[in-house]
Amino acid sequence: MTAQLIDGNALSRQLRSEVAQRAAALKTRGTTPGLAVILVGDNPASQVYVRNKVKACEDVGFHSVLEKYDASMTEAELLARVEALNNDPSIHGILVQLPLPGHIDDHKVIETISPLKDVDGFHVASAGALMVGEIGFKACTPYGCMKMLESIGMKDLRGKHAVVIGRSNIVGKPMAMMLLAANATVTVCHSGTADLAAMTRQADIVVAAVGKRNVLTADMCKSGAVVIDVGMNRNDEGKLCGDVDFDGVKEVAGFITPVPGGVGPMTITMLLVNTMEAAERSAG
């Protein structure tokens, strides 16, 4: 068996086209979706991420604002800027790029963002809404993973067992909650879980989000399983790779996401989807 690829690039293009159409329709009613992105400091990776997000906004017809500040910016100054954006009617989504400089409390900044504009889906109110099935914003990376599952016909996961490897608040926990909401049975593990392979061999769906190469190998995978690789690493040759031993696992799995070209493009796409939804809610 050779697994079918879940093409994140193709799905992303489709979803972005739909967002562009929705944005154009909303503009005819007098509202242009607006996203503000704040970058504090000069982290090279963050600069690339921010640039890609701003370009993506422009490509689908959004109004985008990029605010760059020195790493010396105080926490109070950043919080004040977020509050100002909360009150700006032309901005429907606010994203503060992480990580922030060490003297600034990430959690305090995220919680200052209005839940109505929390398009990254990190606010406690967003997580709470997801937990109880209310309307809120889903964290972008796990949201993208769910859309990839839907693209292969796996929307209602009743009777399916999913294993999430990775317990972080950014991916692992919201991923588990979204799978539960789709009626899956979910087991949350991490790279140090005792006999991790015993867990993953039972799984119909495995989501690997640890940030560690080869955390999932072919002998740990159930035949025909769906494997979603969220990891972003470099191999010995310096090439981008995920958490999954792709060459081995693809011979066992039924579906698999590649790295690059899998989950990565979907993260920014779901940010656009969330911002679009925020603008539509604001417009009424």
Q: Which residues form the catalytic set?
A: 53, 97, 120
d(CA 284, CA 273): 17
Phi first, then psi, for residue 64 (nearest 5°) are -125, 140
d(CA 107, CA 257): 31
d(CA 205, CA 244): 13
User: Taken in order 219, 222, 226, 228, is the CA torsion positive or negative?
Assistant: negative
* Residue 153: partners with Cβ closer than 8 Å, 6 or more residues away: none
* Residue 57: partners with Cβ closer than 8 Å, 6 or more residues away: 35, 63, 64, 272, 275
Strand 233-234 to strand 185-189: parallel, antiparallel, or no bridges (unpaired)? unpaired
